[in-house]
């Protein structure tokens, strides 16, 4: 995944996602890096992002399992666990 893809795949709606902390960030590769330090930095930024709630809902509902980037502080494995938990709760 290229660095620019992370923000490019964020939808315009809900509107909060267009104002997420990763949008226009100077180091967009933090969210797509395979390095543990970069991924931790992305998680920390997501933790303070005002779009985190809607971002998580979108990422869990819409992203393919093959998207390995960090969204709403979650990895692909985190999102898979959340999907299973939400299916179990339904």
Stretch that binds ligand SF4, among 33-41, 46-54, 60-68, 77-85 (CB under 6 A): 46-54
45 binds ligand SF4 (CB under 6 A): yes
Binder to ligand SF4 among 30, 52, 60, 79 (CB under 6 A)?
A: 52
User: Is the sign of the CA dihedral 42, 71, 2, 17 positive or negative?
Assistant: negative
Return residues touching ligand SF4 (CB under 6 A). 17, 20-22, 45-46, 49, 51-52, 55, 71-72
């Amino acid at each position: 995944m290229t660095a620019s893809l992370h923000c490019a795949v964020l939808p315009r709606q809900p509107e909060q996602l267009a104002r997420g902390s990763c949008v226009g960030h100077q180091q967009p590769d933090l969210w797509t890096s395979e390095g543990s330090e970069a991924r931790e930095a992305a998680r920390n930024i997501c933790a303070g992002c005002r779009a985190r709630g809607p971002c998580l809902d979108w990422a869990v509902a819409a992203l393919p399992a093959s998207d390995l980037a960090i969204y709403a502080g979650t990895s692909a494995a985190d999102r898979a666990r959340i999907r299973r938990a939400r299916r179990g709760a339904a």
